[in-house]
Amino acid sequence: MNLAHLLTRASHIWPDNCAISRGAQLHATYRQFAERAARIGASLRRDYALNTGDRVALVMKNQPEYLEALYGIWHAGLVAVPVNAKLHEREFAYIFSDSGARLCFVSPELAGKVGDSITTVVTPGEEWQRMQHAEAAPVVEVDRDDIAWLFYTSGTTGKPKGAMLSHHNLRQMLLAFFVDVEQLDAADSMLHPAPLSHGSGLYNFAALYSGANQVIPASGGFDPAEIFALIAHYPGAFFFAAPTMVKRLVEATDARSADTSNLKNIIYGGGPMYVADLKAAMAFFGNKLGQIYGQGECPMTITTLTRAMHRDASDARLASVGVAQSVVQVKVVDERGVEQPAGSVGEICVRGEVVMRGYWQRPEANASAFRDGWLYTGDMGVFDADGFLTLKDRVKDLIISGGSNIYPREVEEVLLLHAAVLEVSVVGFPHPEWGEEVVAFVACHVGLNATEAELDQLCLDSIARFKRPKRYVFVDSLPKNNNGKILKTALRDMLSLEDVSSSST
């Protein structure tokens, strides 16, 4: 059941196919990829005395060596701990300590941030090269429920927790990809502009299982001009992207002259895709977008809105995250855990063999997250009569004002209709009379402005009066975490500081 067997399989079927490229240059065939992973895995056990189940961290930007290290870890029967390369060094230290990682593969430019609390292998580097010349050993066999990927949540509130994803969990995710999301073949190419430590890395299995080429941008990250060039270069190009990345591609200067005829699919997820932005992307790319909704705890696999479902869809359908994927059951429940009928909002719950084993060394968090075999996601949503799920907000982001529930996303969708508005986030803030008041943080396009009166009228024309913001705060940009998600906690803190300042003057 070891995931490393997927690479062995690919090396037998497509030994001379391009497996990994850096920009437009070949980095490794499937035969070379498998050989390097086998040597790295053997070295981890022989030279570093690591044993089955030991944790190995990866603090690396997107680079071909990332995939080689990842499969080397699994080849040795070890647990990969992919870490967001944009974190602070204190956050690195916390994850190393919490996971008990014994070793860390690190990009040269990040080596100084990792510190001396853990043994490091600079990748590429002298020790990395030595490991690639070690005598190879067979794949270490593991149990299907052994942990493969210790996925640390982004930690927008409190300390991040490690979601334990087993070899079987990730095989179920792979199955769901081909059944529910997309079909691939060996002529396709998967681009990796999004971090390999998160969704893009999780989808590497689909490319590898199909014999497709995995393309790491030469920049190691997301640059619209580079992505357009790679799309033009590689037939059957597809990639995973956060909604903010899709929006940046559409609005990029290079988009006007871009050749996207090679593009097969952009799979978006990881944050809200507003209808206005989605319709703009569909107008530019055509019917080449698909959506997935998942969490680190149920990786990439709760619901999907396929390319076919996007075609000729109503705004309400485009605002949804689609239908339950084939390997899970999904329901929404009230605060007592009672399943709600179509049209009623509740907390989204999911169960299936793709759901994580639990949080690493967090019994209290596990007791809260799991009830009667269901994972409580913390997200609010509503099913329509056809089984399409629409996200409302995180449970903690629900605003209750004057006894009425207000879902920030509904208000955000309306405010984004204003031509001057670039991005917006709506939060609730304590109010002595209403319990909470609705506050909108608004960032406008450079050179454009929106007035409170204009935004108020937009809301009054579109939603119930009680839902419109009572306050508008105009900012240059919205605070985000390292995954690009807007930090509503930081926005609430800004309001708290503002109120303290006002009361002291």
pLDDT of residue 274: 85
pLDDT of residue 154: 63
On the question of pLDDT at 484 being above 80, the answer is: no
On the question of pLDDT at 407 being above 90, the answer is: no
- Please report where in the chains the tokens 């975490």 appear, as a residue: 481
Whether the bond into 124 is cis, omega within 30 of 0? yes
pLDDT > 90: what percent of the chain?
79
Give the chain's mean pLDDT: 93
- By DSSP bridging, strand 399-401 and strand 404-406 are antiparallel
Helix axes 408-415, 452-462, angle to 10 degrees: 120
Q: What is the pLDDT of residues 78-97, one digit of tens each?
A: 999 999 888 888 889 999 99
pLDDT of residue 403: 66
On the question of pLDDT at 361 being above 70, the answer is: yes
Question: What is the arithmetic mean of pLDDT over 392-407?
Answer: 78
Q: Are 217 and 223 in contact (CB under 8 A)?
A: yes
Question: What is the arithmetic mean of pLDDT over 161-169?
Answer: 97
Q: What is the pLDDT of residues 310-354, one digit of tens each?
A: 999 999 999 999 999 999 999 999 999 999 999 999 999 999 999
Q: What is the pLDDT of residues 192-232, one digit of tens each?
A: 999 999 999 999 999 999 999 999 999 998 999 999 999 99
Neighbours of 345 (CB within 10 A): 18
Q: Which residues contact 261 (CB under 8 A, 6 or more apart)?
A: none
DSSP strand E in 98-234: where? 103-106, 119-122, 147-152, 162-166, 189-191, 213-216
**How far is residue 380's CA from residue 400's CA, in Å, rounded to a whole number?**
14
- Euclidean distance between the first and final Cα of the chain, in Å? 65
Higher-pLDDT residue of 304 and 117 is 304
Question: What is the arithmetic mean of pLDDT over 49-58?
Answer: 98
CB-neighbour burial class of residue 333 (10 A; exposed 0-12, middle 13-18, buried 19+) = middle
pLDDT of residue 405: 75
Question: What is the arithmetic mean of pLDDT over 456-464?
Answer: 89
**How far is residue 100's CA from residue 82's CA, in Å, rounded to a whole number?**
13
Q: Are 103 and 172 in contact (CB under 8 A)?
A: no
On the question of pLDDT at 156 being above 50, the answer is: no
Please give, one letter per residue, the 3-state secondary structure of 43-95.
HHHHCCCCCCCCEEEEECCCCHHHHHHHHHHHHCCCEEEECCCCCCHHHHHHH
On the question of pLDDT at 157 being above 50, the answer is: no
Q: What is the token pair recorded at 319?
A: 């605002």
pLDDT of residue 401: 82
pLDDT of residue 499: 62
Question: What is the arithmetic mean of pLDDT over 416-444?
Answer: 91
55-69, 222-236, 467-481: range with lowest mean pLDDT: 467-481
Question: What is the arithmetic mean of pLDDT over 372-388?
Answer: 96
pLDDT of residue 431: 83
Q: Which pLDDT band holds residue 505 (cuts at 50, 70, 90)?
A: very low
The domains of the chain, with CATH numbers, are 4-383 (3.40.50.12780), 400-503 (3.30.300.30)
pLDDT of residue 483: 67
> Buried b / exposed e across 422-441, counting CB within 10 Å, b at 16+?
bbbbbbbbeeeebebbbbbb
Question: What is the arithmetic mean of pLDDT over 109-135?
Answer: 95
